[in-house]
Amino acid sequence: MHALAHSPKNAITATTKMLDRVLSSRRVTSHLDDSDTDASADDSKTKKQNLSLLASNYLSRLSHFCFCPTASLLLCLLLAIVLITSLAFHSRSFVCVSDPGSRVGFFGLDGLGSDFGSLGVPWCRSKHGKTVQWTSKDLLKGLEEFVSIYETRPIKNNIYGMGFDHSFGLWFIAKWLKPVLMIESGVFKGHSTWVLRQAMPDTPIISLSPRHPGKYLKKGPAYVDGNCTYFAGKDFVDFGNVDWKSVMNKHGITDTSRILIFFDDHQNELKRVKQALNAGFRHLVFEDNYDTGTGDHYSLRQICDQSYIRGGGHSCFRDSDEARVRSKRKLFWEKAVDIDELCGPNEAWWGVRGWMRDNFNHSNKPISYAEHFQNSRFIESTLDVYWELPPVAGPSLTHQTRYDPARATSPIVEDGRYGLFQRLGLGRLEASVFNGYTQMVYIEISERES
């Protein structure tokens, strides 16, 4: 709890902190169910964390009628003390205003969130507005189960691999969809293979990777699965070059719509979607769905960052509101980008400074906005479902500093819900495991409509 501001300097500091919290709020609607699970048992749902701000408001109101002579000064001060004491005593009766817009209005700061029209969350549009079947309650229930599973992982320090958020997302999606076969492109030390195996203990896995995960066992922890077919090392074949019809025949699979594909290979995701379509696959997960201006490959989020989507399309004008806000957020979030990092020659902002990156950033080509726009139209013509995994918990709970929460969907466990965070067991995990969030996305695709 912040100390009550007794001086103009402290008041300004308190206001600045409050503004930062407001500016960190996401300004678009979540695609998840909004129901609040277990709210009655969560002590953090009270208004205790805003006591100092409420007290400041009381003092501000007192100033209007406590403009009194010296003789009455003690009476005014006594009245202020009584009001603040009463407020503290009854603080549990205040209900937390969880909606960012309501919170802004409550403190008389309407309009500040409008700066974030340019920093909203781009969202690929599906053909018929269909979304996933699971809800926020399902995600919370899954988290409660997965934390203890994650603690048994063989690779404790998975540097350059998936952290907790994406591990949970992959496990949850696989467990929910119950595929008859799982294919992963990009294996590294085998952590994602282990995650898939925890979700589906008896389902066969096909893993494609230039280096076999067994090679890492010589230097430290790795995971090799006994019920996995590896196209790795000297047997490596790129996803786009596999004879999938022959592979399906060997596994006795005729219905490719029941197969889950997981991409963590840092390849152009437009290319991967086209290859999956050609093979008849429908359920795809992309681990690194990099935001516009970041990353080493052309991602779905970059493709769908368009001006006709709220939060999409950007301005390279250095004196714009977007430039000002981006500059401010760059001070707080490691992967936030300012205008100079976002924009390339001729004010090209799409992709990464107007480039389509591929193959771990080893091959790049500049693309025009017209081509970028056509790419978005193609993707949306194939999409039945587009769903980005939310962060597991807000940054005040996880202490992550890498991704900007203004460019992410609302977390599963909102900031301020410390009691729920602890009950789920998330507080037992090292803070470093929450730093790997890059907007993992699940999509369901089908043939383009004529």
Range with lowest mean pLDDT among 10-14, 196-200, 274-278: 10-14
97 and 237 inside one domain:
no
CB atoms within 10 A of CB 171: 23
Question: Is position 131 within any domain?
Answer: no
- Inform me whether the pLDDT recorded for 39 exceeds 70: no
Q: Of 23, 14, 20, 28, nearest to 409 (Cα)?
A: 28
46: helix, strand or coil:
strand
Tell me how far apart the alpha carbons of residues 381 and 375 are, in angstroms, rounded to a whole number. Answer: 10
329 and 413 in one domain?
yes
Give yes or no: residues 142 and 206 share one domain: yes
| Residue 168, domain member (yes or no) | yes
Q: Give the pLDDT confidence of 381-431 residue by residue, as tens digits.
A: 999 999 999 999 999 999 999 999 989 999 999 999 999 999 999 999 999
On the question of pLDDT at 337 being above 90, the answer is yes
Query: What's the structural domain count of the chain?
Result: 2
The DSSP secondary structure of 372-409, one letter per residue, reads HHHHHHHHHHHEEEEEEPPPSB-HHHH---SS-GGGSP
CATH number of residue 347's parent domain: 3.40.50
- pLDDT on residue 286: 98
pLDDT at 59: 40
37 and 68 part of one domain: yes
Same domain for 222 and 365? yes
Asked if residue 193 belongs to a domain, the reply is yes
Q: What is the mean pLDDT of the segment spanning 4-31?
A: 41
Do 183 and 42 fall into the same domain? no
Residues across the chain: 450
Residue 243 lies in a domain: yes
Express each pLDDT in 222-242 by its tens digit. Answer: 999 999 999 999 999 999 999
Report the greatest alpha carbon distance in the chain: 94
Neighbour tally for 274: CB within 10 Å: 16
Higher pLDDT, 313 or 118: 313
Collapse the DSSP code of 30 into the 3-class scheme (helix H, G, I; strand E, B; otherwise coil) and give the result: coil
Identify the pLDDT of residue 361: 85
Please check whether residues 65 and 172 belong to one and the same domain: no
Mean pLDDT of all residues in 150-162: 93
Separation between Cα atoms, residue 134 and residue 148, nearest integer Å: 21
Q: What is the mean pLDDT of the chain?
A: 80
pLDDT at 95 over 90: no
* Average pLDDT of the residues in 11-26: 41
Whether 174 and 225 share a structural domain: yes
> Residue 270: CB partners within 8 Å, gap ≥ 6?
298, 300, 303, 375, 378, 379
Burial class (CB in 10 A: 0-12, 13-18, 19+), 189: buried
Residues of the domain holding 47: 8-116
The stretch 314-340 carries a mean pLDDT of: 92
Do 256 and 373 fall into the same domain? yes
- The answer to whether residues 259 and 358 belong to one domain is yes
Query: Is the residue at 122 inside a domain?
Result: no
pLDDT > 60? residue 70: no
Which domain-ending residue is among 116, 144, 168? 116
* pTM (two decimals): 0.76
Q: Measured between alpha carbons, how far is 240 from 223 in angstroms, rounded to an integer? A: 25
Sign of the C-alpha dihedral computed for residues 337, 340, 344 and 350 taken in this order: positive
Is 450 inside a domain boundary?
Answer: no
Please compute the mean of the pLDDT values over residues 93-103 and round it to a whole number: 31
Whether residue 130 is contained in a domain is answered as: no
Asked if 255 and 383 sit in the same domain, the reply is: yes
How confident is the model at residue 370, as a pLDDT? 97
Does 431 share its domain with 388? yes
**Which pLDDT value is given to residue 56?**
38
Confidence at 218, pLDDT banded by 50, 70, 90:
confident
Reported as a single tens digit per residue, the pLDDT across 291-325 is 999 999 999 999 999 998 877 899 999 999 899 99
